[in-house]
Structure 1
């Protein structure tokens, strides 16, 4: 069996008296797409920051690949740099205008459908376009692990659907491992191989999504899995009220 690209054992993280992660275990296989759900304060974003190397005040064992990248809910683009310069900003090789950096940046923009926006300023972009640039900035590093912290939470419903398709296509082409933190149960089911739920600092549910791609909310088995996940999150659907709409 192939070793997991992410292996977490007994992970603990406290902020003062508050124990946010409490003995968490998690594996993610190479090329696997895992969505993570949980109530606010359950430790989802804390775990993602630890895996990204942004927080090392922890107890336990954390094994992650060296090559990893993060996309946050806010695109966090530098307003004084054009789109292409934002994408290539963190590349380590060559100077800011080196041919290799420029070529890689243009290729990443093309991959997210923004080849014609390489000279645009961030403030001229729509919310969806800005998030595509943020995704290109992550992809240009060719990560083995892509970490997503609610990247579509601030987008309108139609733009989110377009981003779902884009993310799935990118994942299918690149075969990278993905950990996608979200509050949206439907989003998790539509995109992921597995869905894990965090509760009280641990994984309380780990469920494989046995639905073929492309997926829709009308697929057989979608509602059953949705009800299981909502119940684990402590949410009960009312008769005649669809929480996904």
Structure 2
């Protein structure tokens, strides 16, 4: 996968892309990152990329020309004809695991990270394919959001995680939150690991994990259960959880 980032602050990405899983992904050839300062594409000697909004108002607006030209340049060097061009924006679609899985199937992603008051509307209307938000709040710029989305996508690429099944059991990948985890020692300061996890009975362990995953979702994110077709066993567990609350 090729991931291009258009930003006014390329240095922000150095630490993130150079560490942990995101670094490993480049080392094994799963992804290539290219961070571009779109100020370099400004058509004036001062490399100005923003201007006052028509009609007045607070703040500055990013001009269309530098971003259009930067995207055109990246497309000219791309291996694919139709990269996904993603605008990081609080008005965009809320990012979730389903969208991360969709983007992980692409060969080329271009992220546009804005600053200042906003984007010239012609960028939205004629250049991008997606608008994505990471939550209902406003950040200083799109850089942190692009990092979050990139991390969620890259970890899904083949060969990136040490265990190929790791992400399949992650929270939200199965529609519910992930079950609790324990490791050695079996008893720590009087706190014990559940007996079933020490039993060696994998059928019972899988059942315990499924039940605790559902319990955690029931307690913390009951809204997720609205989109799941529950089995008879799961419905029975939820009835049990409801009784426990009374």
- TM score, norm. by length of structure 2: 0.26
Q: Which has the higher strand share?
A: 1
**Which structure ranks higher in relative contact order (CA pairs < 8 Å, sequence separation ≥ 6)?**
1
- TM score, norm. by length of structure 1: 0.27
Q: Which has the higher helix share?
A: 2
User: Bigger radius of gyration, 1 or 2?
Assistant: 2
